[in-house]
């Protein structure tokens, strides 16, 4: 799996949603991505990419797109 696939998969598996929901997806825009879903998402991303995320980044990860930015800028993950 390449990084894009890993990233999408983390969202799909942890939030229990489908791939077509990922476009422009934002935190709290769907019921699955509430604060509990968010915790599950962070755990999944950390696990997939073997990283530990800073609290600030955990809070800033407010959309599907923003998450990619954060992972590439702060955790050297190339998409």
Partner 1 sequence: MQQNFSYLFGSYECLNNIQNVPKLPIFSDIICDFLNDFSKELMKDTRYRAFQDLMAYAYWIRKSSVESMKKNYQHDLINRLGIGTIFHITPSNVPIQFLYSLTVSLLSGNPNVVKLSNKKFDQVSIVVDILNILSKKYSFIKNYIILLRYDHDDDKTTFLSSKCRIRIIWGSDNTIRQIKRIELPVRSRDMIFSDRFSLCLIDSNYYLSLNEDNKKDLANKYYIDTYYTDQNACSSPRVNVWFGDSEQSNKAKKEFYFKLNEKVMDSYEINEISVVDKYSKLVQFSCMNLGTYDADNSYNNIINVMNIKSLENFPFNMKGNSGLFYDYDITDINQLISAIREEWQTIAVCGINKEYLLNKIIERGVTGCDRIVDIGKTMNLSLVWDGLDFILQLSKIIEYK
> Contact positions toward partner 1, by CB under 8 A?
13-14, 16, 36-37, 39-40, 42-44, 46-47, 51-53
Rounded to the nearest whole angstrom, what is the least distance from the CB of residue 36 to partner 1 in the complex? 5
Q: Do residues 37 and 7 touch, judged by C-beta distance below 8 A?
A: no
Rounded to the nearest whole angstrom, what is the least distance from the CB of residue 39 to partner 1 in the complex? 4
Rounded to the nearest whole angstrom, what is the least distance from the CB of residue 4 to partner 1 in the complex? 22
Q: Do residues 40 and 33 touch, judged by C-beta distance below 8 A?
A: no
How far is Cα 77 from Cα 21, in angstroms, rounded to an integer? Answer: 23
């Amino acid at each position: 799996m390449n990084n894009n696939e890993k990233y999408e998969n983390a969202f799909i598996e942890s939030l229990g949603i489908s791939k077509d929901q990922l476009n422009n997806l934002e935190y709290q825009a769907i019921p699955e991505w509430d604060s509990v879903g968010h915790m599950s998402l962070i755990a999944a991303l950390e696990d997939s990419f073997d990283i530990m995320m800073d609290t600030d980044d955990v809070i800033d990860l407010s959309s599907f797109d923003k998450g990619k930015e954060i992972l590439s800028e702060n955790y050297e993950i190339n998409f």
